[in-house]
Amino acid sequence: MDDGDALAGLGEQEGWRVEGRAARVHYRGAADRYSIEFYAPSGCVLYWKVPPEGSSHETAVPVGRGTVPTPLRERVREDLVAAGLDPDLERRSL
């Protein structure tokens, strides 16, 4: 599968938006917000923790997979599969 097909597949999943050579989705949990990005050229997923609304912090920060709730990581892997991608890409390190 080429990069365009991978991104198009993710763009069809709920909440995902394609931006250039990447796809992004935002998730809001009970207390935390995350931005998840899939980068087609490197075939990896990055997680960013987004500051709460009204916070004095304005910038999202990258976070390690171990700090991301398991249900969210599972959802990302399910989205990868639905897009025709290998779910192990979610575990891939840069």
Residue 2 has pLDDT above 70, yes or no: no
pLDDT at 5: 81
- The DSSP call for residue 58 is -
Tens digits of per-residue pLDDT, 15-73?
999 999 999 999 987 778 999 999 999 999 999 999 877 777 778 899 999 999 999 99
Domain span holding position 68? 3-91
pLDDT at 39: 94
Structural domain count of the chain: 1
pLDDT at 29: 79
The Cα 39–Cα 30 span in angstroms is 27
Q: What is the pTM of this model?
A: 0.88
